Copies of this chain bind each other. A is one copy, B any other.
Amino acid sequence: MASAEPSRKAGYGRHVSEPPAALGGGGRPRLGPRLEGALRAAVGEGHLLTDPDLTASYERDWTGRYGGPAAAVVRPGTTDEVAAVLRVLSAESVAVVPQGGNTGLVGGGVPRAGEVVLSLRRLRGDVHVDPEDRLLEAGAGTTLAEAQQAAREVGLEVGLDLAARDAATLGGMVATNAGGVRVVRHGPLRRRLAGLEAVLADGTVVDRRGGLLKDNVGYDLPGLFAGSEGTLAVVTRVLLRLEPLPASRVAAFVALRAPEALGTPGAGRATATALQVGREILRLGGIEVLEVVYPPGVRLVCEHAGLPAPPDPGADAWLLVEATGDDEVTTARLGALLDAHPLVSATAVALDAPGRAALFAYRERHTEAIARLGVAHKLDVAVPLSRLARLAAEVVDAVAARWPDAATVLFGHLGDGNLHVNVVGPPPDDDEVDALVLGIVLAHGGSVSAEHGVGVARLPFVSRARHPGDLAAMRAVKRALDPRGVLNPGVLIPAG
Contact = CB atoms under 8 A, between A and B. Distances in A.
B479 A216 contact: no
Contact of A214 (B130, B214, B451, B470): B451
Contacts of A413: 214
A458 interface: yes
Nearest to A417: B213
Interface of A is mostly: loop
Interface stretch (A221-229, A250-258, A309-317, A357-365): A221-229
Nearest to A205: B469
Given A190-B223, A191-B191, A208 B445 contact: no
Contacts of A481: 473, 476-477, 480
- Identical copies in the complex: 2
A386 B480 contact: no
A176 B382 CA distance: 29
A418 interface: yes
Interface residues of A, number: 83
B470 A206 contact: yes
Contacts of A210: 445, 447
A404 B491 CA distance: 61
Nearest to A385: B133
Contacts of A176: 216
A448 interface: yes
Contacts of A453: 216-217
A176 B176 CA distance: 26
Nearest to A191: B191
B244 A469 contact: no
A227 B214 CA distance: 12
Contacts of A270: none
Interface in A439-496: 445-454, 458, 461-462, 465-467, 469-474, 476-477, 479-481, 492-493
A8 interface: no
Contact of A473 (B177, B204, B469, B479): B204
Nearest to A203: B469
A382 B326 CA distance: 29
Contact of A212 (B228, B325, B384): B384
Contacts of A219: 224, 227-228, 232, 474, 477
A445 B217 CA distance: 13
Given A132-B384, A200-B472, A215-B449, 9 more contacts: A183-B214, A188-B216, A215-B447, A217-B447, A218-B462, A218-B466, A223-B223, A285-B326, A480-B481
